[in-house]
Structure 1
Amino acid sequence: MKKITILLMALVVMGSCKEESKKEEMPTHNAEFEALLNNYYEDGLKLNPITATLAGDHRYDDSFPNLLSDAYQAEKKAYYESYKSKLSEFPDESLTESEQMSKAILAWECDINLAEFDYNADLTPIDQMWSENLFMGQLASGASAQPFETVEDYQKWMKRVDGYLEWLSSTEDNMKEGMEKGYVLPKSLIVKVLPQLESQMEENVEEHLFYSPIKNMPADFTDEEKAMLTEAYTDMITHKIVPAYTKLHTFMSGEYLDAGRESSGIQGEPNGDAYYAHQIKKYTTTNMTAAEIHQLGLSEVARIRSEMEKIKEEVGFEGDLKAFFDFVRGNEELMPFTEPEQVIAHFNEIHERMKPQLEKLFDNKPKTPFVVRRTEAFRENSASAEYNPGSLDGTRPGVFYVPIPDVTHYNIYSDESLFLHEAIPGHHYQTSLTQENEELPQFRKTLWYSGYGEGWALYAESLGKELGLYTDPYQYFGMLGAEMHRAVRLVVDTGLHSKGWTREEAIQYSLDNEAESEASIIAEIERYMANPGQALSYKIGQLKIRELRKKATATLGDKFNIGKFHNQVLETGCVPLALLEDKIDNWIEASK
């Protein structure tokens, strides 16, 4: 027995020595590589100053470069080429495990952005959903990331608007070039842009969106400062903003609308198939083909339909599933509100109800505060619910924006899953925990990969029962409806952009398979038309995270801890899905 004990002790010592030897062999922190990452981040902020403002870095609040100019495009291309080249100076063996992941992410960033130069996306710079003019409207409201706390803040915004208006003027030049080369928006999207432009042609200055900061000037401004800013903003709106929007509206409602495409998908543009393949890779961070994704979508739609049938039977509805969709859409009992404030209070109540269960599923919770707000009136008719991240330092909260264009028809049946996705533990947890992680280099704190980010948010919806929600069958049906919505996206996005589907065919497929209102479905289909591939990311990412959880549960058995799994998924922030899978596989091995 004594000999065995001595032998075991010797083996332990030998193992310990080997471990120490291993540790000594592991590379330590690489200061030169850290400097490279910091430089990449800082140069990126100069190139994209809006990103800095969103992150709470206010050094560039007065800047809006002309993103469409040849000079800017050349600078952007040189930026990615330079950093891709510099990465080759750092072999993997000289980097820590975390640094190797940063290197892989930066390589991906450079490659995917450089590939985009092979296409002509800048020839359709304006759409109804995603373009810079809409985001600038959010900033102009004074209730977003652009600060309006000092006189200097107000002056910075005026300078930023000057740069923005230069960009706005260039959009017309680019669209004219696009008309010559066959790159134009579908007519059905152009007509949705026109009212958005009209809203900024308001000649009553005090009713103009860009006048909002003047209505809310800080009380400590002197009368002289208030008068000076009021005059300056009035002049800016009257002589710059209204004329610029009027000119663009005249062009888009006239010759551009006449030239608009009849086709709905990106196949209607030159080199559309190749561009769509790039967009799929960009948004899903996978090498899946359009055909594979279309088939996956059909399979998921069939699976979710069978789950929906069970809920239909549970509530005693006797018609078919399509009739049940209509019933849910029009059920007045699910439209209980008369004031927009009641919708906001409803989401806050959902949050309170789930708080005790969050402790069981998540070890780490963000410090960044969180609020629910109504979407601004100028864009809520065509907006989806969305989350805007808080600042990096946590002083500006994360915001869950809810469009409420008509509160009397606001249907609550999917609100629990919507909150889980857009707010907690979806985008707010995922984004805030990334920003608060001191171990990550700065450039990774503001990265966004839709496959990971939207995949996590859709995965978060599936946690409802574990969080004490979905006790009402209609709310559970709402979750199935939200998942169906993302499964339908796989079918209709690939249908539109790779199979020649029309806008109307995509709308009808959605109406046949989900309970969203017709108006909402139309807005969604037109969203996919404006940004090919983005809608695919949700389901692809969700299915990957589910697959990894299933693998970890099966492999680790009793050793599996859901809080630790969520730590692993969330702690490294947005990453391409292949890198996430490698990370989880390594964690599973280390946890055995």
Structure 2
Amino acid sequence: MFRLQQKGYLFLLGTLLAGACQQPVQHSTPQATQDSLHHLAARYYDENMALNPLQATQNGENQYNDQLPIDISEAFRAKADSFYASYQQAIKGIDTAALSGNDRITYDMLQREFDVNREALSFHDHLMPVQQFTCLPLTLAQLGSGSSAQPFKTEKDYHNFMHRMERFAIWTDTAIANMRRGIATGYVLPKSLVVKVIPQVADLAKKDTANNVFYAPVKAIPDSLGAAVKAALTTDYAAAVEKYILPSYAKLRDFMQQEYLPKARSSSGIGDIPDGKAYYAFLIKSWTTANLTPEEIFALGEKEVARIRGEMETVKNSTGFKGDLPAFFAAVRADKKLRIFKTPAAILDSFKAIESKIMPGVKKMYGHLPKTKFEIRQTEAYRAASASAEYIQGSADGTRPGVFYVPILDATTFPYTGMECLFLHEAIPGHHFQISLQQENDSLPKFRRFSWIGAYGEGYALYCESLGKELGLYTDPYMYFGRLTDEIHRAIRLVVDVGLHTKGWTREQAIKYMMDNEPLSTQEATAEIERYMAIPGQALSYKIGELKIHELRNKYTKELGSKFSLSSFHDELLKDGCVPLSVLEQKMARWAKTH
């Protein structure tokens, strides 16, 4: 998956809202309307970066690298609500009839963003601000590692992050106060998630200069800064870690262990918190960009699971295996011949070999290739146990590569069967192509260059898994079975996510359904189900988006016949960046009319 980026993290400066609250002047000419929209989009991006400085850092906008908002505070949330409300009002002044196709995409995406962000603030996720998959305590550790988006090149860079560390101490106190409110009002995490968070924060609370990731920048202070500056930074930076970071994570550890865990809930789904069912309905709409009910998604998931199981039966039979499909799952899980690696380096080399093999075919399938460089890395030890393989975007200016992270807890148990489809999804031509091309397209408004819509982004990456045979992969039946395993995994998500969050399924029930339908270990299935418990609705986006892209490819392959070009289809699919699925349908229809 592409790494989920955090919501906003900065005090909203009081002066920001003045400009946003102004109504744009009404104009009658198409050019004036276009200019007015472009101005609003540019202003929104700039002010939204000030509101969300961690997102700004991810985007390479480094003017806010010292800032960390208390984004879970009531004061911040009220300011954010006013901010989005002012833009809801401002965009009403745009005459949509005068907009070109691409400008209408911008308008529709802006309007959706304002509406969704305001609606999100009407719920109470700030009372559950810490979980094991994606939250500020984990994001800050990534930034503080020195190998992520936070720069550590100049003396000012180091002082910037020291200020963020100082702010984190305030954020932590606010988070604990919020969680106490959550305990009192029923907004609490499931127990099974809390027990995963405690060791994560405990590790980050240790004064362990060799292994605690927050000390890493101290060891990498550039020599170019000079001996005196290096010596001062070494002392001051380590002191900041020990004054703000270690005590904050220790507070979180103690609170979660002693106070929060005993009050955590035994249920698994978000439907069991106050207004949880309404919140889940909002999350479906937000993540899928589709108007689907939980019941429709559940039924679609069951249908896809049945279809893919049929394909799995065919592959199983082709290997000569005589038992049923669950027995084949068990055999695949246990077969030591499918565990071919001895070291993490060998796994990373194998992924590099996949890249080399597919690139000639990729260059025929895509007319436009990204300029952003690409790397494959092992996931850092401090987060590997709870991490999935993921892609973290490079910087738009090309100074930081896109990175495909692979968690490897034990190389000897790493299965090779899913490697080809995993690479197609996370790396090339999946997330690396889509996100890099979007960021590199400076003809798009900045907010579109750096936007993320899961149904499109994850849907496209899952679609890329289906390109394997066309790219010369999946020649080994076990590799193709790995591809089907990944596909059924996304179909299973439709069933278990809705099951957990609206049908009262238990964590154990969801784990069993997953293991009955794909060859996962108990540990792997548990980590997956707990991820869906932590971020409801996100896992729905993959299959919903993929099905839409396949629908569009099949439609235009038939309609255009000999005029259909897969390279042209892919270039059009990617050139406008992440868009809601309804917008995708409209723009692909316009493309087809020109062919």
* Superposition TM-score tier, normalisation by shorter sequence: over 0.9
CA–CA distance in structure 2, aligned partners of residues 385 and 148 of structure 1: 25
Among residues 250, 259, 275, which one is paired with 1:255 in the alignment? Answer: 259
- Check conservation: 1:123, 1:174, Cα contact below 8 A: yes
Partner of 2:440: 436
SS for the counterpart of 1:220 is helix
Indicate whether 1:73 and 2:81 are aligned: no
SS for the counterpart of 1:399 is strand
Among residues 341, 346, 353, which one is paired with 1:349 in the alignment? Answer: 353
Residue by residue over 1:393-432, the C-alpha shift from the partner in whole angstroms, topping out at 9 and shown as x without a partner, is 1221100000001111111110000000000110001001
TM-score of the superposed pair, with normalisation by structure 2: 0.94
- Check conservation: 2:372, 2:394, Cα contact below 8 A: yes
CA–CA distance in structure 2, aligned partners of residues 590 and 279 of structure 1: 36
Within a 5 Å distance, the mapping from 1:544-559 to structure 2 comes to: 544-559=548-563
Partner of 2:8: none
Among residues 502, 511, 518, which one is paired with 2:522 in the alignment? Answer: 518
Indicate whether 1:538 and 2:542 are aligned: yes
Within a 5 Å distance, the mapping from 1:392-431 to structure 2 comes to: 392-431=396-435
- Check conservation: 1:28, 1:95, Cα contact below 8 A: no
Which deviates further from its counterpart, 534-543 or 403-412?
403-412
- Check conservation: 1:205, 1:238, Cα contact below 8 A: no
Instruction: Please provide the CA RMSD for this pair.
Output: 1.2
Among residues 365, 368, 371, which one is paired with 2:372 in the alignment? Answer: 368
Residue by residue over 1:148-207, the C-alpha shift from the partner in whole angstroms, topping out at 9 and shown as x without a partner, is 111111111101111222212211011000111100000000000000011012123443
CA–CA distance in structure 2, aligned partners of residues 203 and 133 of structure 1: 16
**How many residues are paired up?**
567
Within a 5 Å distance, the mapping from 1:81-96 to structure 2 comes to: 81-96=85-100
TM-score of the superposed pair, with normalisation by structure 1: 0.94
CA–CA distance in structure 1, aligned partners of residues 60 and 341 of structure 2: 35
Partner of 2:283: 279
Within a 5 Å distance, the mapping from 1:375-394 to structure 2 comes to: 375-394=379-398
Partner of 2:150: 146
Among residues 176, 179, 184, which one is paired with 1:175 in the alignment? Answer: 179
Change (3 A) 1:512 1:590: same
Equivalent position amino acid for 1:494 in 2: V
Partner of 2:574: 570
How far residue 66 of structure 1 moved from its aligned partner, in angstroms, is 0.7
How far residue 33 of structure 1 moved from its aligned partner, in angstroms, is 1.8
CA–CA distance in structure 2, aligned partners of residues 451 and 30 of structure 1: 28
- Check conservation: 1:422, 1:428, Cα contact below 8 A: yes
How far residue 86 of structure 1 moved from its aligned partner, in angstroms, is 0.9
% of aligned pairs identical? Answer: 48
Equivalent position amino acid for 1:358 in 2: V
- Check conservation: 1:264, 1:503, Cα contact below 8 A: yes
How far residue 577 of structure 1 moved from its aligned partner, in angstroms, is 0.4
Partner of 2:503: 499
Among residues 199, 216, 219, which one is paired with 1:215 in the alignment? Answer: 219
- Check conservation: 1:454, 1:537, Cα contact below 8 A: yes
- Check conservation: 1:203, 1:242, Cα contact below 8 A: yes
Partner of 1:334: 338
Of structures 1 and 2, the larger Rg is shown by 1
Residue by residue over 1:542-580, the C-alpha shift from the partner in whole angstroms, topping out at 9 and shown as x without a partner, is 000000111111111111111111111101100110010
CA–CA distance in structure 2, aligned partners of residues 506 and 406 of structure 1: 26
Partner of 1:9: none
Within a 5 Å distance, the mapping from 1:455-466 to structure 2 comes to: 455-466=459-470
Equivalent position amino acid for 1:339 in 2: T
SS for the counterpart of 2:171 is helix
Equivalent position amino acid for 2:523 in 1: A
SS for the counterpart of 2:223 is coil
Within a 5 Å distance, the mapping from 1:228-247 to structure 2 comes to: 228-247=232-251
SS for the counterpart of 1:278 is helix
Partner of 1:486: 490
CA–CA distance in structure 2, aligned partners of residues 56 and 225 of structure 1: 25
Unaligned runs of 5+ in 1: 1-24
Residue by residue over 1:58-100, the C-alpha shift from the partner in whole angstroms, topping out at 9 and shown as x without a partner, is 1111111111122211121111111111111111123222111
Partner of 1:108: 112
